[in-house]
């Protein structure tokens, strides 16, 4: 197979994967409260209809935690550690951990799952 043909095959493969993948994003913030009390957590929940894999985590935070059905299901001390985690169907909230000396934190998590055809 020529190098040019191999390149075309790879382009087609990546294009096909892009068409079949769906992504879901969820974002949240945390604002420090007074003397460790009344911190403010803001997150609009996301409903996942089938297993989804965390593919990207962005934000100014020191890790995050994930909540489903009022229970913490996952805790990560760094954003990178969340990558590859699979979440089962359900409704989820995510919350960022505050960095030392910071009053606010934010995080956005992107998940992906394949379409069933």
- At 62 the pLDDT is 95
Residue 91 main-chain phi, psi, to 5 deg: -105, 130
Q: Is 78 helix (H, G, I), strand (E, B) or coil?
A: coil
CA separation for the pair 54, 111 (Å, rounded)? 4
* Beta strand ranges found along 32-103 (DSSP E): 40-43, 46-48, 52-58, 64-68, 71-76, 86-87, 90-96
Evaluate if pTM is beyond 0.75: yes
The one-digit pLDDT tens for each residue of the chain (117 residues) are: 554 554 444 344 344 344 456 999 999 999 998 876 788 999 999 999 999 999 999 999 999 999 999 999 999 999 999 999 999 999 999 999 999 999 999 999 999 986 544
- At 114 the pLDDT is 64
- At 76 the pLDDT is 98
- At 65 the pLDDT is 97
What's the gap between Cα 53 and its chain centre? 8
- At 11 the pLDDT is 42
């Amino acid at each position: 197979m020529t190098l040019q043909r191999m390149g075309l095959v790879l382009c087609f493969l990546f294009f096909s994967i892009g068409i079949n993948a769906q992504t879901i994003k969820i974002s949240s913030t945390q604002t420090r409260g007074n003397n460790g009390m009344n911190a403010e957590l803001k997150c609009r929940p996301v409903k996942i209809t089938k297993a989804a894999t965390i593919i990207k985590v962005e934000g100014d935070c020191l890790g995050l935690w994930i909540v489903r059905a009022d229970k913490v299901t996952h805790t990560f001390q760094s954003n990178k550690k969340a990558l590859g985690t699979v979440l089962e169907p359900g409704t989820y909230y995510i919350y960022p951990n505050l960095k030392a000396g910071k009053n606010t934190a934010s995080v956005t998590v992107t998940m992906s799952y394949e379409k069933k055809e």
